[in-house]
Amino acid sequence: RRARELAAAHAPAHTADGTRIEVFANLGSVADAAAAVSAGAEGCGLLRTEFLFLERETAPSEEEQRETYSAIAATLGERPLIVRTLDIGGDKPVPYLPMDGEENPALGLRGVRLTLARPDLMRVQLRAILRAVPAAQCRIMLPMVADLGDYRPVRALLDEMRAELGMAEAVPLGVMIETPAAALLAGQIAREADFLSIGTNDLTQYTLAADRGNAAVSQRIDAMHPAVLRLVREVGRGAAEAGRWAGMCGGLASDPLAAPILIGLGITELSATPAQVPAVKAAVARFDMAACAALAARACDAQSADAVRALAMEASA
């Protein structure tokens, strides 16, 4: 029985009626990659690259980045690896990035906004990723995008780096959906971006206007909120209409209770913490698509996050 459980934990995830749902893991180090593989992750849906850039005097060189990305790619075997470009902002002190004291760092020069302002950093990182991760395994993703104006310059830069390196293979470039603007424009973004992945940590903060780091409002922060779920629905629809896939790499993807709702909203890839991968896979297998769609519709009509949780609990009981 133990052997059968282990085999199931490492098999690709499907709903009860056979729809394929990829269950990936979020990584922030080489050690995480090993943990993800042993937990049965089918790939990496979010590599947070900030760990390479923080707590140091100078930016990591192309070679240093290449070595680290390469070690992570190798640990994942042939599983897909989605590398997120640098997501840093004025809330973290970085000596080589002179960021003026911002009054609202969450609304400031962070994520793709910073790297668009510092194309030197973006070039080095893109080159390191392209050199480190085999093209068949490699996907790149941009944080904090608001609209296509944030996407197109990076697309151009990536094509330029590929040409510089003499790479013929295309490398998918996707967008994190973590601003309400990007969620509402998901359809048009998906016509140019290769995939979408929802970052519910930031999307929830911006939708509910509640600082994710402020303990005084932490009670309000629940990605199961119907307002957030309606944005997820927009993303699922927009991606499907454009023929792209939409995934989720924010904290909500680690919650097994949310899995049937997210699947019902059109999410086909869930990237969880390595430790939560088995529980999310098990939750995916428990529901068929009709049950997911019905639950998702009820969740979007609910009046609070607590009401959504009660519905999800009842469905999972």
Residues that bind ligand PEP (CB under 6 A): 46, 48, 87, 178, 199-202, 249-250
The interface with Mg ion within residues 156-185 (CB under 5 A) comprises: 178
What is the smallest separation between the CB atom of 176 and Mg ion, expressed in angstroms? Answer: 7
Taking the least distance from each CB to ligand PEP, the nearer of 223 and 284 is 223
State which residue, 143 or 266, has the beta carbon closest to Mg ion: 143
Q: How far apart are CA 42 and CA 10, in angstroms?
A: 8
What is the smallest separation between the CB atom of 314 and ligand PEP, expressed in angstroms?
Answer: 26
DSSP class of residue 243? T
By beta-carbon proximity to ligand PEP, the closer residue of 91 and 301 is 91
Q: How far is CA 115 from CA 89, 120, 153, in A?
A: 10, 8, 11
The binder of 48, among ligand PEP, Mg ion, none, by C-beta within 5 to 8 A per type, is ligand PEP
Q: Are 292 and 263 in contact (CB under 8 A)?
A: yes
Shorter beta-carbon distance to Mg ion: residue 32 or 178 = 178
By CB atoms closer than 10 A (0-12, 13-18, 19+), residue 44 is buried
CA 87, distance to chain mean position in Å, is 12
Question: Nearest distance from residue 202's CB to Mg ion, in Å?
Answer: 4
Q: How far is the CB of 183 from Mg ion (least distance, A)?
A: 13
Which DSSP string corresponds to 34-48? HHHHHHT-SSEEEEE
Say whether residue 150 binds Mg ion (CB under 5 A).
no
CA distance 242 to 245: 9
Residue 19 binding target from ligand PEP, Mg ion, none, CB below 5 to 8 Å by type: none
Distances (CA, A) of 198 to 71, 179, 246: 26, 9, 8
Q: Which does 197 bind (CB under 5 to 8 A by kind): ligand PEP, Mg ion, none?
A: none
Nearer residue to ligand PEP within complex by CB, 141 or 283: 141
Helix, strand, coil tally for the chain in percent (to 5): 55, 10, 35
**Nearest 5 degrees, angle CA 289-CA 293-CA 294?**
120
Residue 75's binding partner among Mg ion, ligand PEP, none (Cβ under 5 to 8 angstroms by kind) is none
Please identify, using beta-carbon distances, which residue of 200 and 276 lies nearer to ligand PEP.
Answer: 200
CB of 3 to ligand PEP, least distance (A): 34
* φ, ψ for residue 25, nearest 5 deg: -130, 150
Closest approach of Cβ 280 to ligand PEP, in Å?
15
The entry of ligand PEP, Mg ion, none near residue 249 (CB within 5 to 8 angstroms by kind) is ligand PEP
Rounded Cα distance between 88 and 35, Å, is 25
Burial 149-164 (b: 16+ CB within 10 A, else e): ebbeebeebbeebbee
- C-beta closer to ligand PEP: residue 115 or 200: 200
Tell me, by CB under 5 A, how many residues bind Mg ion.
Answer: 3
Q: Which of residues 188-207 bind Mg ion (CB under 5 A)?
A: 199, 202
Min dist. Cβ of residue 199 to Mg ion (A):
4
Report, in Å, the least distance between residue 294 CB and ligand PEP: 26
The DSSP element (H or E) to which 311 belongs, if any, is helix 305-316
Nearer CB in complex with ligand PEP: 15/273: 273
Q: Which residues bind Mg ion (CB under 5 A)?
A: 178, 199, 202
